[in-house]
Structure 1
Amino acid sequence: MQCRTAMRWIPAAVGLMVSASAFGQENVIGSASSATQAEQPAPAGRPARQPEPSLPAVTVNGARENPVNPPTTAGSKVPLTAREVPQSVTVVNAERIREQNLTTLEDAMMQATGVFVEKRDQERSIYYSRGLEIDTFMLDGVPTKYDWRNTVQPDLSMIERVEVLKGPSGLLAGAGKTGGAINLVRKRPTRETQIGGALSVGSWNNYRAEVDAGGALNADGTLRARITGAFQDKDSFIDKTNMRTSALYGVIEYDITPSTLVTVGASYQDSEGRQPWTLPAYFNPVTRQASLLDVPRSTYLGADWNRDHFYTTSAFAELEHKFNSGWQVKGALRYLNNRLNREQAYAYTPVIPGVNTTTLFAAKQTYTQEQTSFDLYANGPFSLFGRRHKALVGFNFSDSERRDPRYAISPFSQVVNIFNPRSDFAKPTFIPNGTGITTTTRQYGVYGDARFSLADPVTLVLGGRLSWWDISARQYTSTTSVTRGDDINAKFTPFAGLIYDFTEHWSAYASYAEIFQPQDEYLTASGNLVDPIKGKQYEVGVKGEFFEGALNTSLALFEVRETGRATLDNINTTNPSNPFFVSQGETKSQGFELEASGRITPSWTIYAGYTFNVTQDLQNRTGQVNTPFSAIAPKHLFKLWTMYRLPGDFNRWRIGGGMTAVSHVQNTALFPAPIGAVTLRRGGYATFDAAIGYDFNKHVSADLNLTNLFDRSYYSRINNPREGNIWGQPRAAMFTVRMKM
């Protein structure tokens, strides 16, 4: 299917999903009646239906306990329903992770409404929302800096759900990029003993095993534990590539008193394998035109000795106490260590049509990033002018050090034919040369917000944060060391939102949010860092909630602006290799987003989202004005996943399907004269997924998941003629057997 055809009916399809509440309300009642009838004895002469596995009962005690639309803490420290958050939030819940067999954070982000995934290589990705990068990550609500360069994809075996806040998250996170925040909610112990596991086998020798066990460790259930583990060994659709991943997570909870809870936990993830770099593109030096390679998707441009090794270690401790007044206080301490050891031969020259060769170079990278974070907050109700309101105040701190030593490399330059590439090259010598850079970043801040109940249907949310941020970068050689640094003091970041519940099921909202982003890579002519970028977002919308939270719908209109982006200082820059910058750049991103998520009937779940996004550079880094600033964000992005349990005698069976449609994008790269600007283009595409599942009984089930069902060929990322272009994954299958006791 061509993307142009898909785009014509996507808005209508989403509109149908959003308006499905009336249809669903009728069918929920009807389905419940059918379920009741199914429990009655069968007529004489007719075999009785087997009671297992009937559709799991949907026990609804308010939206806060609904498994398909669980409460979110992405927009606040406390659990809130989607209608209570005056910003766009998408949650990839545990049920969806299981149904679609999502195993990494990248898998989850590829399903999240409005999020576009830019693969940097086969194991590392950057995430974008509303055309802007997301670099704020939270682990159970505690801000953590995400550096894609040395971070492997977190394994979802230890994650309960993934929450995505779209737009600035400065209130709780402080400094960061404007795209939003991703909150990883880790699994916690349960009082009931549970033991589960899964075995999977799939395309390209993909083998995976998972285990998840936990429960009470004493008779009264005050001491609880949970442990999860995963092991995966896989090749990929690219020749000669493989990756082996191990992940282990454990957590213990103890009720010191009925009102006081202490939690400690730790995790470790290790991923190692041979991974390719990216592909170059065609470039005609006469016409100065570029186009994407037409090589097989299995093409590997690298060496047999290519090797990536990622390590991630984390530990945390929490203490929470609830007071009789309704207030509670919670403190959390986090430690995170990310390491990468990479040796690569990589393609880094354009391919001239007809010549069909590129040149491989070599590099070694060793990154280490250590982070320590602390967060303390209190929240609870208070009375004012005869009404009850809610307040939250807190403090958090983070300290991050990144070590990047450099290596001397013996001569390595190999010309390969892109249609018949070699990989049996001798490995060069990598020798530490005593140079490198160590960067330390610290941030702390105080924050707070209040939810004022102005009237029964009207809530005003006001908040703000004061942040202190500093950076110290030590660049060293074997004989010298130079340290530069800068700081930002008492930077205020406001937030405001208004929510109006105009019916039992519908709310209208408006919000304003800010964030600031230090620009530690750009210097002014005076030698100081360029002032930070100021990001701000205006958002208005409506949200619907039906069947006590089982089905949520939303429509959001947004405009995001960034001011103060670093632009070239043409007056003071006399040497192009040593440029200076000023903070004059400005960008704008605007559009709208539609989303529906949850159960239309007890047997039918749906997750659908459509995003329309236009980005514009009001003034870019080189001084150009009114040009598209993001080559990442497509104008149209549609995502759909739905799952249906068959009725009656076939209720052991589940069938599902999904679709992702992306409009065309292009990227313009600037090269030194006389080449100048070169543009790469990629057309729009649509891919389809499918799933079928069978429940043998309430303990054992089997699922078959198919992705890119019609084997659509497309580039998932485009960059420039030298490098950075990546094929999307071909059709793949994964068969999984799950067991639970």
Structure 2
Amino acid sequence: MLKKLQLVTGLCLTGIVVTMKSAEAIPSLNRVELPATTVEEVVSQAATQQTVIIINEVRANPTESGVEVILQTLQGEQLQITNRSAENNFIADIPNAQLLLPSGDGFTFTSQNPVEGITEISVFNLDNNTIRVTVTGAASVPIVELFDSPEEGLIFAIAGAVASTPSPQPQAEAESEIPPAQPSTQGDQQIELVVTGQQDGYRVREGSTATRTDTPLRDIPASIQVIPRQILEDQNTIRIQDALENVSGINKRGNYGGTDAGAYLIRGFVLDGNYRNGFRDNNQLTTVDPANIERIEVLKGPASVLYGQLEPGGIINVVTKQPLSTPYYSVDLNVGNYAFYRSSFDLSGPLTEDGSLLYRLNVAYQNSGSFRDFNFTERLLIAPVITWNLSDRTSVTFDFEYLDNRFRFDRGLPSTDGSPTPIPISRYLGYPDLSIRETPAFRVGYRFEHEFSDNWQFRNALSISSTRETGVAAFGQAPLLEGRLRRINASNIDATRENYTLQTELTGKLNTGSIGHQLLLGLELSRNTNITNFSESISLPPIDVFNPNYNPVGLPNLSDPRLAIDFDADNLYFRTDALGIYLQDQITLTDNLKLLIGGRFDTTEYDADIFGSLRNQSDTAFSPRAGIVYQPIEPISLYASYSSSFRPVIGFSQAGTPFEPATGTQYEIGIKADITEQLSATLAAFEITKSNITTPDPDNFNFLIQVGEQRSRGIEFDMTGEILPGWRIITSYTYTDAIVTKDNRIAVGNRFFNVPQHAASLWTTYEIQQGSLQGLGLGLGLYYVGDRFADNQNTSTMVNYFRTDSAIYYKRDNWRLGLNIRNLFNTTYYETSQSRNIIYPGAPFTVIGSFSIQF
């Protein structure tokens, strides 16, 4: 049976009154007879004896005198509360409890100005073991009465002021009983509540990417940034690379074919493809649509301890939307310049009366032109998810995603002398009728989860992703002839890239004396294949970049037999099989001192057929990680860590010896601060060294040797959250010194291409909270990126730029109308490069209007 604990709040000028009543009274902590002499000891002993109680729903019901905010749980009789006051705030902490959706994601409840005399009510996870309830009075600390009821979950019955100017009251005794508050003399007022099943606001307190467990970010000795759904909506994100501009230390490396595909650079090192729900999601040729994204988690630094073969910069993990236990329907429409049209809908809810079978369906369609001549994109996303709750401890989730992307293949602009060629950034340098490609992608998988007890859980999950790229492209990427002619070649391609990954994990909590442990044991099996078939490469007339002619005499068409693919010919085939076993222990020595240690052993086998040349290679590697977090006071976390990475290097030396894996090591220190309950910041300093890089053998330049080395060191700052009610912010600053330290081909001291030494970002929104303009919001984005080189030889420079974005929107009831402007002042800038002769310019002034409605 559901239990109820009810708090009634009113206004009092002199203090807080807490009483308990009902047939099934719940004792307050200062009445519990335990062998302890302080409240702190009582809380500690109670926490030791109890397991975490899950509150999986927050809902609001209006009442005659105000509103009831209900925290639903099946174990209300086990809840105990400690309370205190601070200025005008009544603060209640509920130990051994968590706000968690059925999907396992934490969430936050907030209500601004719900009744007269109460300015804010908030309920959130203070840490991984405590819920905090804060009620803020307009003029004084609210009065709170606690009592129990046998019907349902934990209830906060919030009442308004008895009068607009309350009369002074004598100081109440700690055990006195407060009569129910009466309706305001001004009459009942309309109440607007913000209740969401998603992370509310910009700040996210927990993440799973860094540890594969739901752990407060403040307890992890690493720099982790999370971009929640709210930021994607406020910025009206179309490409995830735009969302990642809000995070320090991340740069794009190429926009493959002029699309939003391409690799990323984290702390200077390449990430060839994102992760999706903790699984490798193909490679840099794969696009990601934002319609199915719940949040994006960024883990900086080597991550091989949990994810296997990787570069040492870090990973980007896209967490997709999961089914909701209550009905939810949303429709979004977008229209912009450059013939941009996009629509999407998001449906979710239960499929059965008992709620055991849940679904979610996201569908999006986009058709757009481009500021680049001739370019276009046509995209379709279909992403259904089904969760079957077999019992209260067992569930299985099946997900599928189909994403088809059809586009004009574009290789951007070349360099002239030491900078991008001075031609209009709109100019297309290829033959458009011979440059159309399509990349349909399929993603399918399941996740089985079972709780043996409150402390031990089992997870088994499978992910399969497949991307096929087909079509002809006519482009150039070689240096210009005579300083103006771009050589063009055309070819047809049919390439299929597939990932198969099976993960099995066991997590558990136990104590050894007074020391707490959260253990993770995992096994990962994976196979990655890449089959690429080409047609003949046809040499076409060069294009004059200053005066292009797109229809020269003799230009072939798509039916030219030379563009036909011979699938029986020798082409390219790659396959990598990997097995990884990993173990991790999150150790709580004391409440303010935590350790993280772990290690992973990997074995990989590589097979290839490169135009008839067969290759085979096997590697093993061990990747350790260790870190410590010390919290001298509650809102401050000081941390230090060591981590490592590996990635196989395919090939042989002149002596016939297979190459060893390239390795990376990182040392990092940092500080995390909870500036307020809604605003947090991270400051990190790091140094990464990557070794065993191949470079030409000085004795024979036809062979390579592994003596190359690269080093990246820097400082990063990120701050995210809510400064004041309605005023949200995400900002970052990056200093990165990423250079070549040893090499026989690249000059020592050269900087990594696409990596600026200095970069900064600021995105902030303010939404009016009350009055006739309530729901009106404004947004401002400022982005600075310093000078970057377009190649590792540092022969071409993309100069620094400062871009301004803005937004205005209006929300009312269940609908939202918005206008987002990117590059408000029409700044000319260059976004990224793949080489000195493949440079992609950024878009000029871009405006997108949007309308969304929820049911």
- Report the TM range for the smaller structure's normalisation: 0.7 to 0.9
Q: Distance in 2 between matches of 1:705 and 1:389?
A: 47
Q: Distance in 1 between matches of 2:163 and 2:367?
A: 48
| CA-CA distance at 1:56 after TM superposition | 2.4
| CA-CA distance at 1:470 after TM superposition | 1.1
Spell out the pairing of 1:708-723 with structure 2 (5 A cutoff): 708-718=823-833, 723=837
Structure 1 counterpart of 2:783, which letter? Answer: T
Q: What do residues 646-683 of structure 1 show as CA deviations (whole Å, max 9, x unaligned)?
A: 2432222010111110111224566xxxxxxx711222
Structure 2 equivalent of residue 15 of structure 1:
none
In structure 2, relative to structure 1, the CA distance for the partners of 1:716 and 1:27 (3 Å cut) is farther
Q: Distance in 2 between matches of 1:193 and 1:200?
A: 24
Kindly name which structure, 1 or 2, has the bigger radius of gyration based on alpha carbons. 2
Q: Distance in 2 between matches of 1:719 and 1:699?
A: 44
Structure 2 equivalent of residue 728 of structure 1:
842
Greater relative contact order, per chain length (Cα 8 Å cut-off, separation 6+): 1
Q: Distance in 2 between matches of 1:175 and 1:738?
A: 41
Q: Distance in 2 between matches of 1:517 and 1:591?
A: 23
What is the DSSP-based 3-state SS (H/G/I as helix, E as strand, rest coil) of the residue aligned with 1:468? strand
Structure 2 equivalent of residue 642 of structure 1:
764
What is the DSSP-based 3-state SS (H/G/I as helix, E as strand, rest coil) of the residue aligned with 1:710? coil
Q: Distance in 2 between matches of 1:73 and 1:668?
A: 35
Structure 1 counterpart of 2:750, which letter? Answer: P
Structure 2 equivalent of residue 336 of structure 1:
465
Structure 2 equivalent of residue 605 of structure 1:
728
Spell out the pairing of 1:646-661 with structure 2 (5 A cutoff): 646-649=768-771, 650-661=773-784
The correspondence for 1:484, drawn from 603, 615, 622, is 615
Asked whether 1:179 is paired with 2:317, we answer no
Which consecutive residues of structure 1, in runs of 5 or more, have no partner in the other structure? 1-24, 283-288, 671-677
Structure 1 equivalent of residue 293 of structure 2:
159
Q: What do residues 240-277 of structure 1 show as CA deviations (whole Å, max 9, x unaligned)?
A: 11110000101111111111011111110001122322
| CA-CA distance at 1:472 after TM superposition | 0.3
Q: What do residues 25-57 of structure 1 show as CA deviations (whole Å, max 9, x unaligned)?
A: 9999997655677988999xxx999958x5726
Q: Distance in 2 between matches of 1:174 and 1:704?
A: 42
The correspondence for 1:219, drawn from 353, 378, 381, is 353
Q: Distance in 2 between matches of 1:27 and 1:90?
A: 32
Q: Distance in 2 between matches of 1:228 and 1:475?
A: 40
Structure 1 equivalent of residue 5 of structure 2:
none
Contact 2:697-2:744 within 8 A present in 1 as well: no
What is the DSSP-based 3-state SS (H/G/I as helix, E as strand, rest coil) of the residue aligned with 2:426? coil
Contact 1:109-1:117 within 8 A present in 2 as well: no
Q: Distance in 2 between matches of 1:119 and 1:635?
A: 18
Asked whether 1:243 is paired with 2:370, we answer no
Q: Distance in 2 between matches of 1:561 and 1:686?
A: 31
Q: Which segment drifts farther, 467-476 or 659-668?
A: 659-668
Q: Distance in 2 between matches of 1:234 and 1:111?
A: 25
In structure 2, relative to structure 1, the CA distance for the partners of 1:568 and 1:55 (3 Å cut) is farther
In structure 2, relative to structure 1, the CA distance for the partners of 1:568 and 1:28 (3 Å cut) is farther
Contact 1:87-1:511 within 8 A present in 2 as well: yes
The correspondence for 2:264, drawn from 124, 127, 130, is 127
What is the DSSP-based 3-state SS (H/G/I as helix, E as strand, rest coil) of the residue aligned with 1:97? helix
Q: What do residues 443-465 of structure 1 show as CA deviations (whole Å, max 9, x unaligned)?
A: 11110111112222101111000
Contact 1:136-1:173 within 8 A present in 2 as well: no
In structure 2, relative to structure 1, the CA distance for the partners of 1:48 and 1:236 (3 Å cut) is farther
Q: Distance in 2 between matches of 1:720 and 1:333?
A: 36
Q: Distance in 2 between matches of 1:456 and 1:557?
A: 25
What is the DSSP-based 3-state SS (H/G/I as helix, E as strand, rest coil) of the residue aligned with 2:206? coil
In structure 2, relative to structure 1, the CA distance for the partners of 1:191 and 1:566 (3 Å cut) is same
Q: Distance in 2 between matches of 1:104 and 1:302?
A: 24
Identity %: 26
Q: Distance in 2 between matches of 1:315 and 1:58?
A: 28
Structure 1 equivalent of residue 340 of structure 2:
206
| CA-CA distance at 1:378 after TM superposition | 0.9
Spell out the pairing of 1:261-660 with structure 2 (5 A cutoff): 261-282=395-416, 289-303=417-431, 304-351=433-480, 356-409=484-537, 411-424=538-551, 425-427=555-557, 428=560, 429-433=562-566, 434-476=569-611, 481-489=612-620, 491-520=621-650, 522-548=651-677, 550-571=678-699, 573=700, 576=701, 579-622=702-745, 624-625=747-748, 627-649=749-771, 650-660=773-783
Spell out the pairing of 1:48-87 with structure 2 (5 A cutoff): 51=190, 54=192, 56=194, 68-87=203-222
| CA-CA distance at 1:356 after TM superposition | 3.2
Contact 1:278-1:346 within 8 A present in 2 as well: no
Contact 1:170-1:514 within 8 A present in 2 as well: yes
Q: Distance in 1 between matches of 2:736 and 2:687?
A: 10
Structure 2 counterpart of 1:321, which letter? Answer: H
| CA-CA distance at 1:228 after TM superposition | 0.5
Q: How many pairs align?
A: 677
Structure 2 equivalent of residue 675 of structure 1:
none
Structure 2 equivalent of residue 703 of structure 1:
818
| CA-CA distance at 1:725 after TM superposition | 1.4
Q: Distance in 1 between matches of 2:487 and 2:615?
A: 36
TM-score, length basis structure 2 = 0.75
The correspondence for 1:115, drawn from 242, 250, 253, is 250
Q: Distance in 1 between matches of 2:196 and 2:225?
A: 21
What is the DSSP-based 3-state SS (H/G/I as helix, E as strand, rest coil) of the residue aligned with 1:339? strand
Q: Distance in 1 between matches of 2:514 and 2:205?
A: 31
The correspondence for 1:689, drawn from 805, 814, 833, is 805
Q: Distance in 1 between matches of 2:692 and 2:787?
A: 29
Q: Which segment drifts farther, 442-451 or 110-119?
A: 110-119
What is the DSSP-based 3-state SS (H/G/I as helix, E as strand, rest coil) of the residue aligned with 2:492? strand
Q: Distance in 1 between matches of 2:782 and 2:746?
A: 39
Which consecutive residues of structure 2, in runs of 5 or more, have no partner in the other structure? 1-85, 91-110, 121-136, 140-159, 165-185
| CA-CA distance at 1:589 after TM superposition | 0.5
